[in-house]
Structure 1
């Protein structure tokens, strides 16, 4: 029997990480959640509330943590590298405290320096952090980014060299964002687009897919623009998400929306994905 994809979303938290987060998850019909444990647009390292951590950990709800957007192990700026190390170390620790399965990390860009130099930095600074993770701790999930010309990982094929730089570490997984790969040139809207993309992902990073960010796209395939749209309302279209859930590489992989709006809009996106799952 094919494993079921849990369908949920990034939850808006008010009134405590678990109290508010699980309340919002219930309101939108989420079967899994993704949360921030620090400011997503800053370097501050926020400590958690042990009671709230325990509630989320003991809730039985599958959870993931998204790291700060500023993280970039390919940056030539020493302060960015130093902060990236501190944030990922902290976020992995916080993820373990809340019982999250993984930490999603943007794979970064060279910011003008040679790509080879940026990848050496990825190895030097990120590999030691992976070795610090306990055997039962969360995985670090590499998320491909939208702008092909500027990112270390944009196409799914780029994941191969990134994983090689990390020696194929067992605590590394992959987060596939549908809007990002569409923007980078993987035409998920084409009749065979999802199959070709997931086949290529399996070739580049076999057995590594751990999470899918389900986002439609406001812009056309290959636009290099990261503008999410609600499910079925963008250039990717609803059929691609149905095809995705039927591909063996995506079997049983949690699916998390990061679509515009909140409340009713998120509930509608999740309901549509559930219908596509059961069709």
Structure 2
């Protein structure tokens, strides 16, 4: 029997990965965490603190890391591409050092070059990084985007050619962001939409779903706008998250919020998801 999904959030590591991250996790009632191990909006790569790494690794807290936002393996810029390769390699090494289960990376954009050229480039540069991951190392979790611009992957269906370009490498997993999927056109506000989305994911990439970013959406389905909202306060609503956790494809898959607000709001979102997971009604008002 599959264990219930652990529910947590992206946490601040101010004060250290273990000191800050675990304190923040406790403050918001998180059962798992996602962290940045380097500046999320820059190319400078932060070295780890072995003491903090070991403390987080030994804490028993399920953790994931998120690669910096600048990473784009589909970029036509040689400089951006090279820096992306270096940054993803660094992220994988740091994730291994702290015992993280996976590294989330955005699936990227072709920007001004053709999609075919970007996909060939993706294969040439990302596949070798997957090959470098040791057997006990983290998975690389591909996070489809909201569909804006020349994004290489937004819908569940887009994952098939993306994973094919990576030769269906066993270390290539999927992180499904509910706000992104909703913005890309998957209507997760309905029971039928949740079922169809997860059924399609299972048909195209069985066993690849390793993490869910649980975010409501400020904008309507198909908007292609990536604006997260608190659970139950957006266009998706609260109940679909219970339906999502109840689907066999998502059974036991951790949920991580990336919603607006500070610790109080995050604690409320996590509590709402726990109640939905455990079969209770979400709070009203």
Task: Name 1:11's counterpart in structure 2.
Answer: 11
Task: Name 2:133's counterpart in structure 1.
Answer: 133
Task: Name 1:151's counterpart in structure 2.
Answer: 151
Aligned 1:170-185 pairs, distance under 5 A: 170-185=170-185
Contact 2:148 2:225 in 1 (8 A): no
- How far apart, CA to CA, are the structure 2 residues paired with 1:21 and 1:84? 25
- How far apart, CA to CA, are the structure 2 residues paired with 1:142 and 1:55? 27
Task: Name 1:260's counterpart in structure 2.
Answer: 260
- How far apart, CA to CA, are the structure 2 residues paired with 1:262 and 1:153? 30
Per the TM alignment, residue 14 of structure 1 is displaced from its structure 2 partner at its CA by 1.8
Task: Name 2:97's counterpart in structure 1.
Answer: 97
- How far apart, CA to CA, are the structure 2 residues paired with 1:34 and 1:273? 17
Aligned 1:43-192 pairs, distance under 5 A: 43-192=43-192
Per the TM alignment, residue 35 of structure 1 is displaced from its structure 2 partner at its CA by 0.2
Per the TM alignment, residue 203 of structure 1 is displaced from its structure 2 partner at its CA by 1.4
Task: Name 1:247's counterpart in structure 2.
Answer: 247
- The root-mean-square deviation of aligned C-alpha atoms, in Å, is 0.8
Listed one character per residue, the Cα deviations across residues 115-158 of structure 1 (whole Å, up to 9, x for unaligned) are 00000000000011111110110010000001255211100111
Listed one character per residue, the Cα deviations across residues 32-70 of structure 1 (whole Å, up to 9, x for unaligned) are 000000110111110010000001000000000000001
- Secondary structure of the 1:135 match is coil
User: 1:21 aligned to 2:25?
Assistant: no
Task: Name 1:212's counterpart in structure 2.
Answer: 212
Name the TM-score, length of structure 1 as normaliser.
0.99
- How far apart, CA to CA, are the structure 2 residues paired with 1:81 and 1:150? 16
Contact 1:156 1:197 in 2 (8 A): yes
Contact 1:148 1:155 in 2 (8 A): no
- Secondary structure of the 2:93 match is helix
Contact 2:191 2:243 in 1 (8 A): no
Per the TM alignment, residue 12 of structure 1 is displaced from its structure 2 partner at its CA by 1.3
- How far apart, CA to CA, are the structure 2 residues paired with 1:45 and 1:229? 30
- How far apart, CA to CA, are the structure 2 residues paired with 1:158 and 1:204? 10
Listed one character per residue, the Cα deviations across residues 214-264 of structure 1 (whole Å, up to 9, x for unaligned) are 000000000000000000000000011010000000000000000001210
Note the residue ranges of structure 2 that are not aligned, 5 or more in a row.
280-285
Task: Name 2:283's counterpart in structure 1.
Answer: none
- How far apart, CA to CA, are the structure 2 residues paired with 1:203 and 1:77? 34
Per the TM alignment, residue 191 of structure 1 is displaced from its structure 2 partner at its CA by 3.2
Note the residue ranges of structure 1 that are not aligned, 5 or more in a row.
none
Q: Which moved more, 1:12-21 or 1:146-155?
A: 146-155
Name the TM-score, length of structure 2 as normaliser.
0.97
- How far apart, CA to CA, are the structure 1 residues paired with 2:221 and 2:14? 36
- How far apart, CA to CA, are the structure 2 residues paired with 1:63 and 1:191? 30
Task: Name 1:31's counterpart in structure 2.
Answer: 31
